Copies of this chain bind each other. A is one copy, B any other.
Amino acid sequence: MEKPTVRDIAREAGVSLSTVDRVLNERTGVRPRNAERVKAAVQKLGYVRDTHAANLARRRVYNFVFVLPEGSNQFVDTLRGALKEASASQLTDRVSMTIKSVDAEDPHAVVSSLQVLNRHHVDGVGLMVPETPQVRDAIARLKENGVAVVALVSDLPHSECDHFVGVDNLAAGRTAGVLLGRFVKASYGSILVVTNSLGSRDSLERRLGLDEVIASDFPSLRTLPTVEFHGDVERLSEVILSALRAHPDLVGVYSMGPGNGRLLDALRTCGKLRDLVVVAHELTPTTKQALRHNEIDAVIAQNVGHLARSALRVLRAKCDDVQIFMAQEQIRIDIIMRENLR
């Protein structure tokens, strides 16, 4: 049972190679009757186009653009590195990748960066930006132009994306909650929750997941209102310190986003770090080091290498109009502790 080729299709359908080609590549000038025959033959023989040979023949180069938030953020930095590494690897041959950094908080900046793409020849876009009506429209326009679009890390549920590459943040928050609840030895206490901004849907979902689990499974614990520092690290230190003073029963800290370095600094200065159960998000140099030093008890992470490769694979698949292999594209919620960090 060799794999069928276009020749087999032509023979089976009783037409010429040219006609098969016209049907497969959706060119005009084929009578419906013959088109049907070809499609039937494809079905019957289970033909799948050899994309490698096809790409070879058409000298295809996949032109992908990734739009990531600018500014200092270790997670975004590692993601950027992973994207570059993945596109350099042999796996992702024939891919030419551009990474753009934009002020993700400024919808106008995001949109204008996407509008540019419509003019150039771009096959696929990966987006890590918050969803706004403007962004939604810009994505719709990209889709009109036949560009494949995937949401990266942050879902864009109301936009016409082809796929979301990232984790279920509600489940991530729940996971963090269980870890905090089970790691805390005290019979009661409160938990500090920190993030950059609850405006980002990731943080919001994580917070919801946390509260769900604490409320149902750990009623003796209490989650404090979310501390948001909105990029202002000075404020972060201050608020942490005052929270520590205000809540002497503090037993845990949940950091839902960036700013782990500053957060740890603040906790360190008041000497309570060792007594607190700390759960943070994302594996970065800071969190890795903190794990090794037992300053962070667990990290909830998504494998950036997997994110990057998955995004590239999905974009290719969408360009080629090929099924994706869901099992491989499922991004897991990783729990990293000192012992399984490597």
Q: A residues within 8 Å of B by Cβ? A: 48, 50-53, 55-56, 82, 85, 89-91, 93, 168, 171-172, 174-175, 177-179, 182-183, 185, 209, 213, 297, 303, 305, 309, 322-323, 325, 327-328, 330, 332-335, 337-340, 342
Contact = CB atoms under 8 A, between A and B. Distances in A.
B305 A327 contact: yes
A326 to B, nearest CB: 10
Nearest to A185: B185
Given A56-B52, A90-B48, A335 B335 contact: yes
B334 A334 contact: yes
A175 B90 contact: no
14 contacts: A48-B90, A51-B90, A52-B52, A53-B56, A56-B56, A90-B323, A90-B325, A172-B340, A174-B339, A175-B337, A175-B340, A305-B327, A334-B335, A335-B335
A27 to B, nearest CB: 24
Contacts of A90: 48, 51, 322-323, 325
B325 A89 contact: yes
A2 B305 CA distance: 26
Q: Is the interface of A mostly helix, strand, loop or mixed?
A: helix
Nearest to A330: B342
Given A305-B327, A327-B85, A335 B332 contact: no
A52 B303 CA distance: 28
Nearest to A173: B339
Nearest to A182: B183
Contacts of A303: 332
Contacts of A213: 339
A213 B342 CA distance: 17
A189 to B, nearest CB: 14
A90 B325 CA distance: 8
Given A56-B53, A177-B339, A334-B332, A91 B325 contact: yes
Interface centre among A175, A327, A334 (most CB of B within 10 A): A327
A217 to B, nearest CB: 9
B48 A339 contact: no
Contacts of A323: 90
Interface centre among A55, A91, A179 (most CB of B within 10 A): A179
Contact of A340 (B93, B171, B297): B171
A178 B338 contact: yes
Interface centre among A52, A56, A89 (most CB of B within 10 A): A52
Given A52-B56, A171-B342, A185-B185, A89 B337 contact: no
Given A52-B56, A303-B332, 16 more contacts: A48-B90, A50-B56, A51-B90, A52-B53, A53-B56, A90-B322, A175-B337, A178-B337, A179-B337, A182-B182, A182-B183, A305-B327, A305-B328, A333-B340, A335-B335, A335-B340
Contacts of A174: 339-340
The 8 closest A-B pairs by CB, nearest first: A52-B52, A333-B340, A335-B335, A174-B339, A175-B339, A175-B340, A89-B325, A305-B327
A332 B305 CA distance: 12
Given A48-B90, A90-B322, A328-B305, A337 B335 contact: yes
